[in-house]
Amino acid sequence: MPLQDWLIALALGAFFVLAGIGGIIWGKREEKAYYDAIISRPDVREYLERRPRRPESQALRIGGWVAIAVGLFLLGLGAYLFYT
């Protein structure tokens, strides 16, 4: 195996893990900002009953976990290629 095969897999794995962590943090920030905006409204109950669904924060967190899983797989693949 050429040196680049395992190095590419490790680099892509690290990228996906970092992107996944970033997605999870971004999703938590979006959700916190959304709820902070609700709290600042004078009539929260009326707003909550008619609020539009905002799936962005949950989708960012799910995508983050998927990216971490892919990244860990690629890191494992890179380690396997390095040792074989």
Rounded Cα gap, residues 29 and 24, in angstroms: 9
Task: List the domain range (segments joined by +) for residue 78.
Answer: 3-83
Above 70 in pLDDT, residue 52?
A: no
Above 70 in pLDDT, residue 10?
A: yes
Above 70 in pLDDT, residue 6?
A: yes
Above 80 in pLDDT, residue 37?
A: no
* Cα–Cα distance list, 11 to 1, 21, 35, 61 (Å): 16, 16, 36, 22
Above 70 in pLDDT, residue 43?
A: no
Which of 8-12, 22-26, 36-40, 79-83 is least confident? 36-40
pLDDT at 41: 67
Number of domains in the chain: 1
Rounded Cα gap, residues 31 and 23, in angstroms: 12
